[in-house]
Structure 1
Amino acid sequence: MTAAQADLQIDRPSVADGAALWRIAKDSKALDLNSSYSYLLWCRDFAATSAVARDEHGEPVGFITGYVRPDSPGTLLVWQVAVDEAHRGRGLAAALLDGLATRAVAEHGVTTVETTITPGNTASERLFTSFAERRGARLEREVLFDAGLFPDGPHDPEVLYRIGPLSQ
């Protein structure tokens, strides 16, 4: 953990964090923004497989949402990663991902992390590539959802990043 991260606490989100997670996602201008309701539900139903970073006042400044895939219980799917603009560039996203993966391995027996990244999202590509390197895990990429599958207008393809096997 860096000195800049020392004042931050990483833990599970609570329903009370839902509005802040929605705001951080909205302000990112990079994520597909879901409804505010969905962030409240996520903090209720998937808190065990998600993480939030809090500043010295306990306010959320970054988050990762994820879930264990029902048809692949050894796989953690990372849905969204976002860090408040004032806290970017300090390695917080990597600390969140490392912490969540370690917890998911210990508590859920996860051996693989998956996420999807649109081509050109350099920050996410670097985050997950460096995560695989830190874990000494294999990284496989393939298009999961081609651009033509999205019914709501132009959308880049979503490339699946599969990282594993993980160990504690």
Structure 2
Amino acid sequence: MKESNVLDLNSSYLYLLLAKDFAETCVVAELSGKIVGFVTGYHPPARPEVLFLWQIGILPSMQGCGLGKRLVTSFLHSPGAQGATLLETTVAPSNAASRALFLAIARQLGVECRISPCFSASQFPESGHEDEELYRIGPLP
């Protein structure tokens, strides 16, 4: 969702693949027939107990009204989330909204949120990308 102004841009083909192959771990929010937010994720093949949230995108006009929390909650209750004991995602240190969102999700669930380094800026091929920290939330109830 280019309009979010914070997500790494990916091809429409990638989003079609996610919607096709990972539909059980993707959630879309619509308002008047227009997509206003989404969550995409998957189970890493070697770690089926983990539900990895790859991207969350919300239109700027819909930010700040609790939609992110509702999307993540729906993601955790999606058919593809069954059996998951950990929620993982990565967040750039400057992304205060996402940091606050995932800390709030952990508080809401009454579980720990452990933050550790994941990818360094030097691992990204394009210049200007920040480090990404891994957020591990769980154990999920």
1:61 aligned residue = 36
In 2: Cα distance, 1:104 partner to 1:93 partner: 19
Aligned to 2:77, what secondary structure does the other structure show? helix
Matched, 1:88 2:63: yes
Deviation of residue 41 (structure 1)? 1.0
Q: 1:32 aligns with which of 8, 22, 45?
A: 8
1:47 has 2:23 as partner = yes
* Higher mean C-alpha deviation, range 124-133 or range 82-91: 82-91
After TM superposition, the score normalised by the length of structure 2 is: 0.94
User: Could you say what secondary structure the match of 1:155 adopts?
Assistant: coil
Q: How far apart are the structure 2 equivalents of 1:114 and 1:36?
A: 24
- Give 1 or 2: higher helix fraction: 1
Runs of 4+ that moved beyond 6 A: none
Q: What does the per-residue CA deviation read over 1:64-114, in whole Å, with 9 as the maximum and x for residues that have no partner?
A: 000011111011110111111222221001001011112358x52111100
CA distance in 2 between counterparts of 1:70 and 1:146 reads 23
Q: In structure 1, how many angstroms separate the alpha carbons of the residues matched to 2:10 and 2:78?
A: 25
User: Normalising by structure 1, what TM-score?
Assistant: 0.80
CA distance in 2, matches of 1:138, 1:71: 23
Deviations 1:23-68 (A, max 9, x none): xx2111101010111111111111100100111x332111000001
**Bigger strand share:** 2
Counting aligned pairs with the same residue, the percent is 43
Unaligned runs of at least 5 residues, structure 1:
1-24
Question: Which one-letter code corresponds to 1:46 in the other structure?
Answer: F
| Number of the residue aligned with 1:74 | 49
Q: Distance in 2 between matches of 1:125 and 1:155?
A: 17
| Residue pair 1:116, 1:159 contacting (<8 A) in 2 also | yes
Is 1:127 aligned with 2:101?
yes
> C-alpha distance in 2, partners of 1:137/1:124?
17
User: Computing the radius of gyration over CA atoms, which structure comes out larger, 1 or 2?
Assistant: 1
Gaps of 5+ in 2: none
Over aligned residue pairs, what C-alpha RMSD do you find?
Answer: 1.4
Report the Cα offset of residue 166 of structure 1: 0.4
Q: Which SS does the other structure have where 2:108 is aligned?
A: helix
